[in-house]
Structure 1
Amino acid sequence: MSNERESIVTIDISNIQTANQLHLLLKEKLEFPDFYGENWDAITGLISMPDKLVLIGWLEFEKNLPSDAKTMKEFLYLHNEEYPDWKCEYLFN
């Protein structure tokens, strides 16, 4: 895991059609370690987040995968509560 993170990461999720596609994209763009389990429970304190995460295409993503969109928001906010040292600002554009 890299100790030096970009302070702002922007990810276009507008064309995501499956949860698997989303997790693979998050793993790539957020430089998650190889042991990342590609599921919501794998987003733990072992995974650091950038200072700011900008998600482009949020409305399209919510339409395509409403359950995953809801779960994603819950886990991202929970991550901030559980790991305040790695707090991330989320922008759902």
Structure 2
Amino acid sequence: MDPPLQQRVDADAPFDPMKTENASKLIKLINLKPRINYKEEEIRSKEQEINNKQQQLDHFEQTNEESNQSLRQLLSPVVTRTRASSLGKVIL
């Protein structure tokens, strides 16, 4: 059937509320698609932001732990001498 004839047949067909309702729902879904895509992109962006922050936090924690270990090594002789001198005062 050629398109003009098909259009006339469709125009003469009885009104089907179900088809109209389904078409309306389909149009709404099609119209929502760009918003869904935008939200998905927004979610991906937030996930990337969270991953970046987690990497920064991990790096900070590692650097902090290394600094703490260095400080302990540097202060260890001082703390030992201080404790020894404190013990000497208590004994005397």
TM-score w.r.t. structure 1 length? 0.23
Q: Which one has the bigger helix percentage?
A: 2
Q: Which one has the bigger strand percentage?
A: 1
Task: Determine which structure has more spread, i.e. the larger CA radius of gyration.
Answer: 2
TM-score w.r.t. structure 2 length? 0.23
